[in-house]
Amino acid sequence: MSDNKNTQGVSITILLPAGRLPLDMMQAAHDLAKQYGFGIYLSLTQNMRLINVPESAASHVKETLAALGANFKGPGKFPLPRICVGKPHCNLGLIDTEELSRKILERFSGREKTKAKFKISLAACPIGCAWTKNTDIAVTANRVGYNVYVGGKGGPIPQLAMRIKVKATLEEVLDIIETLVDFHDLKTKTKQRMYKLLKDPDFPFSAV
């Protein structure tokens, strides 16, 4: 559960798989925001952050949203894939990114202690609106399958990701992500961006 303090209150961050905000949660967040006078920020990483929540109201806010199934951000949780809107909501979309995100989260749902600092992004076409070239692990769809990238990052010194697989099937994509996550776990004490592992002699993939 994430509730970062600032001078005007605390922040509470709710994870929204595939960026979907259930209507009952939206309604409750709206009602609570009016009641306690806080703001709502929809982040770039598929979550909803309640900002400037009065500290005295934080427990009630969290309990109310938890009762509706809210999953709060917290250490050790597998990262939600950041996705583009995909098929059928974008004319260029070749896949349903919500579905791919769900499959990835299902595959890794048993992992409770994921090491921090890597992100995943998914795009339904090669344009990569989910910043696929600047994400630790990224998947883009094309007409012959999926391409997989690793080691991208943003920040003050951005890094373009390295392509490690082309024309992958869905099962291959899931297996590659698992290999990368396992390698990250093996080589990381607490947190580490994936690009730092690209030069490791045991890194399991090469550029293609």
Q: Report the C-alpha gap between 137 and 58 in whole angstroms.
A: 34
Please state the closest distance from residue 138 (CB atom) to ligand SF4, in A: 11
| Displacement of CA 13 from its chain's centroid (Å) | 13
Q: Report the C-alpha gap between 163 and 127 in whole angstroms.
A: 14
Q: For binding to ligand SF4 (CB under 6 A), which residues are involved?
A: 84-86, 90, 92-93, 123-125, 127-129
- Report the residue number, 78 or 131, with the smaller CB distance to ligand SF4: 131
- Report the residue number, 127 or 207, with the smaller CB distance to ligand SF4: 127
Q: Are 62 and 29 in contact (CB under 8 A)?
A: no
- Report the residue number, 139 or 181, with the smaller CB distance to ligand SF4: 139
Concatenate the DSSP letters of all residues of 90-127 into one string.
STT--S-HHHHHHHHHHHTTT---PPBS--EEEESSTT
Please state the closest distance from residue 97 (CB atom) to ligand SF4, in A: 7
Please state the closest distance from residue 86 (CB atom) to ligand SF4, in A: 5
Please state the closest distance from residue 98 (CB atom) to ligand SF4, in A: 12
- Report the residue number, 113 or 143, with the smaller CB distance to ligand SF4: 143
